[in-house]
A and B are shown apart, each in its own frame.
Chain A
């Protein structure tokens, strides 16, 4: 029975995701193409410096890129190509958009994935400990460091970590080395500082969320009942309190994961020289590289929708009372 309504629900949500992705594509395409700038702008200074009639040559260059045609024609052309699996050619990096995304997504993904795991595991453990030992010294220390963690800007922390651990102690390279195999220990080692940089803010947040969620549940009647029944404290905390507290946490973790896909890790990527999609998409915006901007936005939107779907499905397992039929 559960299988049937879950299948129908997933199909409905997938169709919805496709529709949203198309809407995002259309809006992004129009916004990028009707803006006052043009991919040919990068030539403006050079051409003027040569005393050329800029408008004439700019028009010729826009024709080279096909951006001189009416917007509906460009849109239809784009959609037709997309139907054939062609996401277009990146003008600012001189490679096909799909090749570009294929080559760079993994750098962003490994950073975001490891940072989330690092932040979730440590943040949740500290949060539980803080809640159980409320108002103890440990709780105060955890609270103090959580506020510091939330307040420290990524770029500052990253630079400080590099100066301390790479320049002064020589423990790490100052930048991310793409020549190392992704599955090697050396790669894992070089991700330590970027993961700490990106994960610190998230970790501090998870600590606070876990602490409050745990405290809220610790005060509930079912906990008193469990204790009155003589259940060991570990079982009370782990099985009864944490299981109830984890539900809002899953939402927050998944939301974080979704919001930093592609764009949110930009600063960390910049500091450590990680050629992820954050950097690629940011540069594409400034270069008016519309094919990359549209592709990254659409894929990003689609992924966020998928993450939301996975979150909703996870709920049904964490709390059997939840149904979507």
Chain B
């Protein structure tokens, strides 16, 4: 009897102890992530300009912070979140004190400041994203000023306020000064440096360590037992992580179905098939990409498009729900501005919702076009659009060939506009041709270099009226879309210009917007204004589908699904 009591007590203690500790997962297996989006170009991040390169490097090198699916800050190399002074000019960064380079030496604030001053801001290396770290002061472009405070703390000082600069600061990653200084000033040596091309310097800065990169085949990393976030949890839990490159999505899908890979993105037409498979979990998630129909507002587009009412009328004739159903096979959300629902700055109220509900009205669209004087009504009730001389004309719609979704959007737009009597001629051209002949422009008869926005009077080599495009937006800082919608925007190739829109972009990046409530109000005004103005027809935000083998656990589906991928494991 006494033994039974002792046993019972021991059992209770065991259960209590067991329930109070998190049982660490065992590291096992090889996780293979399939991609058909192409290989990376470099592992030397400062030279990279493609997302695949940053993706590879990211397995071995963490930034200061990352975000979960609700955009909450998750600390990585930073010991605490970036602190911003009350006047919005000084950013203080404190890094962890247990970060180590490959030679076991400590990663210090000096490394971060060196990376900025001597590499990112240098003349000899031509860092592609250096403008993110520049500001306009008295008409002059200058870099922000980084300074070391102590071994783990540094500051970055601006001379002008930009409340959204913090999102840039949080992305910082360092180079080791002790290695990089050997190559300083010699771009060829820096480009070919073995330490940077084989990621031997990354120490405990990422969940994985570099093993090999076979071009056009695979990128292989192995579990980093020293990972600073793994000291308490033994994470990560995959022995190896492989990015496998496929030449076509069809084979990538076949590999997922056969169980040869752990993950693959799934194209909309195949989602139902994978959802029906027992061994696969399919997650549908929002993305930051949106489709839009650009109107050529430059002098070689139909002049009617320059009038807001005409653009509104065209947008009223194209059903966004139909587009999502037919083209995106249900995997999309209607878009009414460039701010996605997942953005903390999204405000639903007050924006005109062209293309759905009461603002999807083909009769009203026809009436409005006739009222503007750019169309005449036929006896059968349909309309005919006309040029300056009143002659009937067809609109030309451009998109890049080989992109099924954009081509299908083109067909749908053609059908929708035909229902109100507008004829559209489709032209699918190679991407390089689209960029050089339809997007880039210059003022005719001048020696201007071709650019995406050469200002008033500039036109593209070939004329066009409508263009189906897709771009991504940053949900945390949608003001970055000023490149498309501000008069001086570098990618405003269709020539949109509206002073109140320009002003709102500027105010969002001013002292006034340091207060988050005020910034949200400014974003609300901006999205209402562009929804009303229709500088483009915002069509839809696309949803992505990710297929995983069922034994992959720990996934939190969402817009930043991979934020905790070092905690994923095989069951």
Contact = CB atoms under 8 A, between A and B. Distances in A.
Contacts of B452: 48, 54
Interface string A157-175: 0010011001100100111
A94 B43 contact: yes
Contacts of A269: 247
Chain A interface size range: 35 or more
B498 interface: no
B6 interface: no
A94 B216 contact: no
B506 interface: no
Contact of A48 (B132, B257, B436, B451): B451
Contacts of B49: 42-43, 46
B491 interface: yes
A255 B482 CA distance: 57
Interface string A168-206: 001001110010000000000000000000000000000
Contact of B126 (A64, A91, A170, A287): A64
Contacts of B44: 94
Given A100-B215, A104-B215, A162 B254 contact: yes
A46 B128 contact: yes
Chain B interface size range: 35 or more
Interface stretch (A109-117, A275-283, A317-325): A275-283
A160 B77 CA distance: 47
B126 A60 contact: yes
B191 A175 contact: no
B488 A89 contact: no
Contacts of A93: 39, 41, 215
A70 B491 CA distance: 30
A142 B436 CA distance: 51
Contacts of B483: 48-51
B489 A51 contact: yes
B129 interface: yes
Contacts of B171: none
Nearest to B260: A174
B215 A89 contact: no
A36 B430 CA distance: 15
Interface string B116-149: 0000000001101101100000000000000000
Contacts of B126: 57, 60-61, 63-64
Contacts of B39: 93, 283
Contacts of A94: 41-44, 47, 191, 197
B248 interface: yes
A103 interface: yes
Contacts of A92: 41
Interface in A58-83: 60-61, 63-64
Interface of A: 36-37, 41-52, 54-55, 57, 60-61, 63-64, 89, 91-96, 100, 103-104, 159, 162-163, 166-167, 170, 173-175, 178, 269-273, 275, 279-280, 283, 287
In the A-B complex, the 10 residue pairs with the closest CB atoms? A270-B247, A275-B217, A51-B490, A174-B255, A94-B42, A55-B449, A60-B126, A48-B490, A275-B216, A48-B452
30 contacts: A42-B41, A42-B49, A44-B435, A45-B435, A45-B491, A46-B49, A48-B491, A49-B491, A51-B488, A51-B491, A57-B128, A63-B126, A64-B125, A64-B191, A89-B188, A93-B41, A95-B215, A103-B215, A162-B251, A166-B254, A167-B258, A174-B254, A175-B244, A175-B260, A178-B214, A270-B247, A270-B248, A273-B245, A283-B216, A287-B41
Given A42-B49, A94-B44, A163-B254, 4 more contacts: A52-B490, A54-B452, A167-B257, A279-B247
